[in-house]
Structure 1
Amino acid sequence: MESKYIDLLLFLVKGIGPCKSKKLIMQYGYDFLANCTFDEFMTITNNKKIAREYINLRSVNLLKNKYKDLLKGGSKILTYSSKKYPKKLKEIDDPPMLLFYRGNEELLNSDKIQNKTVAIVGTRNPSYEGEKTAYNISKLLSENGYTIISGFAYGIDTFAHKAAIDGLGDTIAVLGCGLDICYPSENKKIYKIIREENLFISEYPDETKPYSYNFPKRNRIISALSESVIVIEAGIKSGTIITVNHALNQGKDVYAVPGSIYSMRSKGTNFLIKEGAIPIVSIDDMIEYFDIKINQRSNIDLTDLQERIFCYIKSNPKIHISNLPIDLNISSGIITKEILELQLIGKIDKLSGNRYISK
């Protein structure tokens, strides 16, 4: 029996799960799993119901038909034993036995996905500043050859994907439902673009509805495929923190953009920084951490708020960032995000000691 059908069998049997499936494959091998008796499988699982279901489903013809049925919805499948299965995903303790995908399969195993990938995640209910920060950071990374990975959820995820597309880079969206379902429905436009030019992946077959309990599970895939994770606005108890915990367990670097101490949206990011996450507070941080180059865009139109901050810095060269919230009566969280944007578009420079000058 081909190994891909054993992967499918482990996927189908209730009560085994990804973690146990990998352990069975690593410890016993595909030959054993293809030929073991009921008693042998019962011995290693210690569960008669699971062993009985496993043996009853272990028919080549039955599994071939099951595999064909899973393809009918339009999504393609990579099994755990496939040579094209993402190497990064194989390294975690609980990789999905089946990975459903639509789009550019090459993104999963190219040199780029191995070396230059960043997950950008955050709240589904961001502030305007959070949206802008997610967009600007994602676009900057995308323009510098990074593949942006996120969960396609409303909010920070959406702006990360949009920015990657606008930056003419690659993006991978990891869904918590079947790939034939655009969830949230408001994302239909970028759903079509990602499906045609980039990549959707999911551990759930087509027609699987976006049940709430699917999303925490899919977060381990987001972090696994990424070299690092950037968090932009998150509650202290949220799916984003689950992604961070997966990332830390997988040995990934975690970055966070700080925000106002008065904002519930910033409690998660500020907590992460307190616990050791690497803060991103300026464009210099992005240059240092991600080895990027800045495209000068000095002619871009500034918002009224940006113009106000820029004019103040221009009139007060080498001003310390701590003076801005007080002198301009603007919260420190908003100042941090707008300062980052002004650096991104090449309007100001950061000096040593958190001081800034205009260009």
Structure 2
Amino acid sequence: QGLLAGLIQPLAMITIFQVFPLNRRGQAMGIYGLGVVLGPAIAPAIGGVLVDTLSWRAVFLVVLPACVIGMAMAWRYLPGKDRQLAAIRLDRAGVLLLAMGITAVLWGLANGHRRGWGDPLLLVTLPGGIVSLVLFAFWQRRNPQPLMDLRVFRYPGFTGSFLMSMVIGAGVFASTYVTPLYFQQVLGESAASAGLMLMPAGLAMAFTFPVAGHLTDRFSETRIMMAGLVLFVLNMVLMAGATLTTSAVWLVWWTLLGRVGLGLMMPPSSTGALGLLPPALIPQGSGIFNFARQIGGALGVNLCALCIQFFSDRFGQTDPAASLAQAFEYGFDRAFWLLLIVFLLALWPLHAMRRGLIRKLL
């Protein structure tokens, strides 16, 4: 599922850059993004109802009609293979090293608290994953047809764009993971109720995308991203300061605020990153940019889950009389602070991206 979904996003961005002129790419990216996030906006509510009324297995069936329609439209409208392009061989060694490295690191982070950081398997897995990623980087520099063309990082600002993509991915996926769990484990809401509480925020994010894309064609990408960053940081501050007595209505509004912030950041981050590269490197840049977002999302979810588990357990040990909801609230507050710190640190890569875009204009 992840393998095939991972093929779609970079190809969609490449198609947009090939079809639309420079002054329309932001708008096109915004409309594309509307489709990307509209599903996650309504899916939690539908999924919650299916879980409560049928079974958790039913959530895997709801995507099938959309997949069939998507395949039919792709067959009708998308262009086929360009026969004039030279065939490119798949970098199998690169795929193997990257898969081993990412799997080992993410598995180690996810299981460290449960197994204990001194577990012999973890002491082998985590360093082994890091070594695999280092070997992958060296191999990409030597391979004439690399899986990831690292030359994109030579262009000023692209490293900042890469890091910003990781941060945005962490914000999107981690907040999507943490917020509904907060509603269920701290407020005691059902899965269906938690999904419905998230729907306004998801819809707000979806309809922010076209607006952000429209603004990207008229204003600096980094200014729009800064506005989104401020909104998301404010959302994390408010969520971290919430208590068991905070009204659910306020929590819904605060979540909506953060989703609007993420919606403002995503289209300009994409157009800005690929705008830093020459046309020949846009396909590679698109793949690397989307890779950064997915990796950031995976790391964000793992680190937030680890943070919630660690601090909830610690609170329960220091205050045995505390309720389970109080312990969970303590853990969730620390996860919100973690995301807050990550987004504040993103000011540096955002500045680097801004300098690269200014240099490209000059």
TM-score computed with the length of structure 2 as normaliser: 0.23
Which protein has the bigger strand share? Answer: 1
Which protein has the bigger helix share? Answer: 2
- Structure of greater relative contact order (alpha carbons < 8 Å, 6+ residues apart): 2
TM-score computed with the length of structure 1 as normaliser: 0.23
